[in-house]
Structure 1
Amino acid sequence: MARFHYAYQKIVDLKTSEKSQAEWQLSIVVGKLSQEESSLQKLQEERALWCEKLQQASQQAVPLSAILTMQSYIDFLDDGILRKLRDVKKAESAVEAGRRFLSDRMMDEKVWLKTKENALRRFQADRMTKEQNELDELATVRFMYAAP
């Protein structure tokens, strides 16, 4: 009995591999986004802490130079937060691009898998037709031998 062999199986395998690579790349950029967001959160928490320290220092007898130093550090943290926000935006753009790329790869794979399924259905239908023709021929031969 004939077995189904899809002529374009290597293309299907390639499309599946491309989809897997796109998933892997997306997971990398999602991880990078997560790191950037975590880093941003830490900077914001540190800024809030130093703002609180500055507020407390302004209510106590603390030298002006210490207050100015705290304010300078808060300004430094603000600059870091702005840079980190740009990094987060870049990472979000990379994630979105990765999602679009993965979506395209998934569509390609789906098209080729559907084509393979259609080819399999045609093969099975052809095989069923051939088997039915063979059975019909057997029945005809038996009928001719059985007839007196």
Structure 2
Amino acid sequence: MKVFQFHLQKVLDVKEKEKEQAEWAFGKSVQRKNEEEWKLGQLQGLHEEATGMLHAVQTETVSIARLMEITQYKEAVERSITRQKVTLYGCEQEMEKCKLRLTEQMKETQLWQKLREKAHWQYTEDAKLREQKEMDEIGTQLYLRKSN
């Protein structure tokens, strides 16, 4: 009996490879989003620190130059936070795009795998039928030989 060969195996292999690439891209996008979230957390920590410094300096007697310096630093951190939020939003959008592509690739791969399973099942059923016909033919031949 010959071995089962799925005639569209190369297509299935390509679809599985595309799914792996989509998984990799999704993983990279999640990793980048996590990095950008961490950076945002760091900036927010700096902002809190600058706000604390500003409150502390307001109770003390300090030069206006020092007060302006801390205020400018705080504003610079706020601008960085705003830019980082935009970057993070872009990362989230990219992650969603990768997630949708991955979902699509998984569905496609699953479809091709089901086609392969169906073809294998059909091959098995055909093999059983052929075997049964052969057994019936052998039985008929034995019966005819005994009858003669």
Q: TM-score interval w.r.t. the shorter chain?
A: over 0.9
Cα distance in 2 between the residues matched to 1:45 and 1:146: 97
Shift of 1:53: 1.1
User: Could you say which residue in structure 1 is the equivalent of 2:135?
Assistant: 135
The share of aligned pairs that are identical, in percent, is: 26
Opposite residue 92 of structure 1, the aligned amino acid is: E
RMSD across aligned C-alpha pairs, in angstroms?
0.9
Q: Cα deviations across residues 36-84 of structure 1 (Å, max 9, x unaligned)?
A: 1111110000110111111111111222221111011100000000000
User: Could you say which residue in structure 2 is the equivalent of 1:64?
Assistant: 64
Which range is displaced more, 104-113 or 10-19? 104-113
TM-score (norm 1): 0.97
User: Could you say which residue in structure 1 is the equivalent of 2:84?
Assistant: 84
Which range is displaced more, 38-47 or 62-71? 62-71
Shift of 1:28: 1.1
User: Could you say which residue in structure 2 is the equivalent of 1:21?
Assistant: 21
Tell me the matched-pair count: 148
Q: Is the aligned partner of 1:2 residue 2:11?
A: no
List structure 1 runs of 4+ shifted beyond 2 angstroms. Answer: none
Shift of 1:19: 0.3
Cα distance in 1 between the residues matched to 2:73 and 2:98: 37
Opposite residue 4 of structure 2, the aligned amino acid is: F
1:17-56, aligned counterparts within 5 Å?
Answer: 17-56=17-56
